[in-house]
Chains A and B, each alone.
Chain A
């Protein structure tokens, strides 16, 4: 009946970092481009983020980190997803992330990494592409 179904995504902040301005900015930008965005707030463990993503059946996850713990926390979310049988959900990351870490994170299985100054349009397009590549694309009618 509905012509297009909105993409559902989860925006989360793993770890102890409480700076959520970036996460909220992205959540709002996605909302304004037709996404249904579940925001889980600050200071969540990788396991909590994975469990929430599975219950909400999101097509993609966006993680934000501004505290420098991305090398540990982003891959930990991937591991938690795999452990809970949802390793197929694409995970995008953003924050203050040095160039040399980006390669490491992409090699670890992150779908994309964004640093400050990336235009919002680029990030939105990356989410849209991630939602269409995941296992959700085959269940859409």
Chain B
């Protein structure tokens, strides 16, 4: 399909065109630049971007399924980005998040896209931000992003989403302790999933302690117990999401976050675009020099070379 056909299809919410456009953006295809340039930034104004993160097996996909059901009940058009890891050996990936959200496969207002992390280590893929903007242009009012199963420091989602939910479950033991310093400090809400299992109350108590200062400041409870497999606790969770989102809009946190998100994404792309040239320069000279010092030298040489060249 031609670029203008694709963009018309996007405006008309044609699933094939939306799928094709996401592929162009994900693969940096020949139509990618024209597509990105044509997206209306104002489409993001009425969109809520929700991040769902947590360790593998905590129930992220099942919870995503609950949120989809709830939000569709309210009539919102939804986009879902589900990221799973790429194999560091083959580069392939098994993207299995759809299995738990197939109930909505025939709903034209639920657009699901499975994405492989393609070597990125922050819990998302490099093109997730662009795909969010495509989904917003396709009329999605709420965009859910499910990260790969994470550990302590995969912060990409916190930068990209308006609100990030951390999904945890009892029985992760020492992982919980470890997570206290790191991702947990910057997530907005904690979902204590598998609330019917032993240890859930203890998990809630422990997590409430971690969120105490923030909750005392504005009176918004940030730890929510759910049993996603039985669709329990979803309404309460959605209420807290809406309350917190309204608060963030009111006091300007959302605008600040989006601004920072744009800046970080731009920086990421700068580094990505410089990578091939830098790699070529690094491979060109094999001097016995400490890598950090070598990097400083390369940057200095680069600046020097540019000053030598007239415009």
List chain A positions with a Cβ less than 8 A from chain B.
1-2, 5-6, 8, 27-28, 30-41, 44, 47-48, 51-52, 54-57, 84-86, 136, 139-141
Q: Is the CB of B112 within 8 A of A139?
A: no
Main DSSP-derived SS at the B contact region: mixed
**25 A-B pairs, CB-CB below 8 angstroms?**
A1-B273, A2-B28, A27-B94, A28-B94, A32-B87, A33-B92, A35-B92, A36-B95, A36-B116, A38-B96, A38-B98, A39-B95, A39-B99, A40-B99, A40-B105, A44-B105, A52-B98, A52-B102, A52-B105, A57-B19, A139-B20, A139-B24, A139-B29, A139-B30, A141-B29
With A1-B273, A36-B116 given, is the CB distance from A54 to B91 under 8 Å?
A: no
B91 to chain A, nearest CB (A): 5
Q: Is the CB of A39 within 8 A of B27?
A: no
Per-position contact with A for B33-65: 1 when CB-CB < 8 Å, else 0? 000000000000000000000000000000000
With A2-B27, A55-B18, A84-B15 given, is the CB distance from A41 to B93 under 8 Å?
A: no
Which single member of B15, B20, B29, B106 contacts A48 (CB below 8 Å)?
B106
With A1-B276, A55-B15 given, is the CB distance from A34 to B102 under 8 Å?
A: no
Q: Whole-angstrom distance between the alpha carbons of A85 and B17 in the complex?
A: 11
Q: Is the CB of A140 within 8 A of B16?
A: no
Q: Is the CB of B18 within 8 A of A38?
A: no
Contacts of A140 in B (CB 8 A): 27, 29
Per-position contact with A for B91-131: 1 when CB-CB < 8 Å, else 0? 11111101100100110000111101010000000000000
A52 to chain B, nearest CB (A): 6
Which single member of A56, A84, A139, A141 contacts B114 (CB below 8 Å)?
A56
Interface residues on B, range: 35 or more
Q: Whole-angstrom distance between the alpha carbons of A56 and B16 in the complex?
A: 9
Q: Whole-angstrom distance between the alpha carbons of A141 and B95 in the complex?
A: 24
Q: Is the CB of B105 within 8 A of A51?
A: yes
Which single member of A34, A44, A84, A141 contacts B28 (CB below 8 Å)?
A141
Contacts of A85 in B (CB 8 A): 16
With A1-B28, A6-B116 given, is the CB distance from A55 to B111 under 8 Å?
A: yes
Q: Whole-angstrom distance between the alpha carbons of A141 and B114 in the complex?
A: 22
Contacts of B22 in A (CB 8 A): 57
With A54-B15, A85-B16 given, is the CB distance from A40 to B98 under 8 Å?
A: yes
4 nearest CB pairs, A to B:
A57-B19, A41-B99, A31-B92, A48-B105
Contacts of A34 in B (CB 8 A): 90-92
Instruction: Please name the residue on chain A nearest to B119 by beta carbon.
Output: A2
A118 to chain B, nearest CB (A): 20
Which single member of A36, A48, A54 contacts B92 (CB below 8 Å)?
A36
A121 to chain B, nearest CB (A): 14
Instruction: Please name the residue on chain B nearest to A58 by beta carbon.
Output: B19
